[in-house]
């Protein structure tokens, strides 16, 4: 079996750390891993698969040594600069930033939904937004069967999605709450502890945030439904990890609830947790540390024809970022 050489860019960040964890679990056919980060983090020592590695500074000549794949999780500006350099060297880039997601010739891939799209790449494949990934895993089998007419997203997103400074703001809030003293915010404009912030990313001229627009546009691209009607409200909540979403769907076709639930149960990557008698439904603490998408609170929306409500939860650092990218790489290795 062929052995691959892999670059991990942004190896010391929150998503980069999760990538290392998932790669350790997967034990892929890899002959060599090389870890890159910014100048600030270069020289750090990390332990990976019981071996010590020194993190290298990412430079323009970093890809002169040939890599088969590069997993990028270092932010949009870094991706815009270095991904084309990497792909020109013959390396396939799987990028976790938003830099290339809406580029026409860059596939935007969720393995359970549209893995075939990954084959048609020009050296760069985009990993979707974390909140979009978990949503489309649940929506794709329903779209195939009943054809979605409209989606209303309401998200409840954990602070880990905002990186280490977002995590710090929640931890500092917890620490200082009983003391009732002030502390310096590192990420958010307002305290996230004891609050829900109805803003993720910057506001756009149309009143939506960039996060909400990402969900709308990425869902259309992944499902190959450019005319699909979608609206979204994205909220940051004081939860450490794993995003939760309330998704309201209107279908073109009628459905029976039992059949629809069975469709979800038979879908790849989905775990249905639906037992209201025993108050069983998906929650963030149970999703954390796993790669599945959990769906529950599945019920008809009686306010419209062919309407449905469901609650969707997943680990935003694993399935929403690291694991999704690595699943794409795995597929391409197998091809």
The CA–CA distances, whole Å, from 265 to 137, 173, 282, 294, 306 equal: 12, 39, 14, 10, 20
* 41 bridge partner residues: none
pLDDT in tens, 204-256: 999 999 999 999 999 999 999 999 999 999 999 999 999 999 999 999 999 99
Spatial distance between the Cα atoms of 314 and 294, rounded to a whole number of angstroms: 6
Q: Taking all residues of the chain, what is their mean pLDDT, rounded to a whole number?
A: 97
**Sign of the CA dihedral 55, 60, 66, 71?**
positive
Spatial distance between the Cα atoms of 1 and 19, rounded to a whole number of angstroms: 23
Is 243 annotated in the active site?
Answer: yes
- What 8-state DSSP symbol labels residue 179? T
Spatial distance between the Cα atoms of 36 and 9, rounded to a whole number of angstroms: 5
Residue written as tokens 């990412």?
58
**Domain spans of the chain, in order of start:** 4-127+321-334, 132-316
CA 40, 44, 49: angle at the middle one, nearest 5? Answer: 140
> What pLDDT shows up at residue 178?
84
Is the confidence at residue 179, as pLDDT, over 90?
A: no
pLDDT in tens, 36-50: 999 999 999 999 999
* From 196, 224, 243, 278, active-site residue: 243
What is the arithmetic mean of pLDDT over 168-192?
94
Q: Among 1.10.3720.10, 3.40.190.10, 3.40.50.720, 3.30.200.20, what is the CATH number of 4-127+321-334?
A: 3.40.50.720
The residues near 155 (Cβ < 8 Å, ≥ 6 apart) are: 131, 200, 215, 232, 233, 234, 235, 243, 244, 245, 246
Spatial distance between the Cα atoms of 73 and 22, rounded to a whole number of angstroms: 14
Reduce the DSSP state of residue 114 to 3 states and report it: helix
The CA–CA distances, whole Å, from 103 to 95, 107, 121, 125, 150 equal: 13, 8, 11, 10, 24
What is the arithmetic mean of pLDDT over 309-320?
98
pLDDT in tens, 81-110: 999 999 999 999 999 999 999 999 999 999
Residue % of the chain over a pLDDT of 70: 100
Per-residue HEC secondary structure of 306-335 comes to CEEEEEEEECCCHHHHHHHHHHHHHHHHHC
The residues near 166 (Cβ < 8 Å, ≥ 6 apart) are: 159, 160, 186, 187, 188, 192, 236
Specify the CATH number of the domain 132-316. Answer: 3.30.360.10
How many secondary structure helices (H) and strands (E) does the chain include? 9, 14
pLDDT in tens, 150-161: 999 999 999 999
């Amino acid at each position: 079996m062929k052995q691959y050489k892999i670059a991990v860019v942004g190896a010391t960040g929150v998503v980069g750390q999760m990538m290392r964890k998932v790669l350790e679990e997967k034990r892929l056919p890899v002959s060599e891993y090389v870890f890159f980060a910014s100048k600030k983090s270069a020289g750090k020592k990390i332990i990976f698969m019981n071996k010590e590695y020194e993190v290298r500074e990412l430079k323009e000549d970093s890809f002169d040594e040939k890599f088969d794949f590069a997993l990028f999780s270092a932010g949009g500006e870094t991706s815009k600069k270095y991904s084309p350099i990497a792909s020109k060297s013959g390396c396939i880039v799987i990028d976790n930033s938003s830099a290339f997601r809406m580029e026409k010739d860059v596939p935007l891939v969720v393995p359970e939904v549209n893995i075939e799209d990954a084959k048609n790449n020009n050296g760069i494949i985009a990993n979707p937004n974390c909140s979009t990934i978990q949503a489309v895993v649940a929506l794709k089998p329903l779209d195939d069967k009943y054809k979605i007419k409209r989606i209303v997203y309401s998200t409840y997103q954990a602070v880990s999605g905002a990186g280490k400074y977002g995590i710090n703001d929640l931890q500092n809030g917890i620490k200082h709450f009983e003391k009732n003293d002030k502390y310096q915010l590192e990420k958010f404009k307002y305290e996230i502890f004891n609050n829900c912030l109805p803003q993720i990313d910057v506001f756009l001229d149309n009143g939506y945030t960039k996060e909400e627009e990402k969900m709308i546009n990425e869902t259309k691209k992944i499902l190959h439904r450019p005319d699909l009607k979608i609206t979204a409200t994205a909220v940051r909540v004081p939860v450490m990890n794993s995003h939760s979403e309330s998704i309201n769907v209107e279908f073109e076709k009628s459905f029976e609830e039992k059949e629809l639930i069975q469709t979800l149960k038979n879908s790849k990557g989905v775990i249905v947790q639906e037992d209201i008698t025993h108050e069983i439904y998906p929650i963030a603490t149970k999703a954390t540390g796993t790669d599945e998408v959990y769906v529950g609170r599945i019920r008809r929306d009686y306010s419209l024809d062919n309407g449905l409500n469901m609650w969707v939860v997943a680990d935003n650092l694993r399935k929403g970022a690291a694991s999704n990218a690595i699943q794409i790489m795995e597929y391409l290795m197998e091809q």
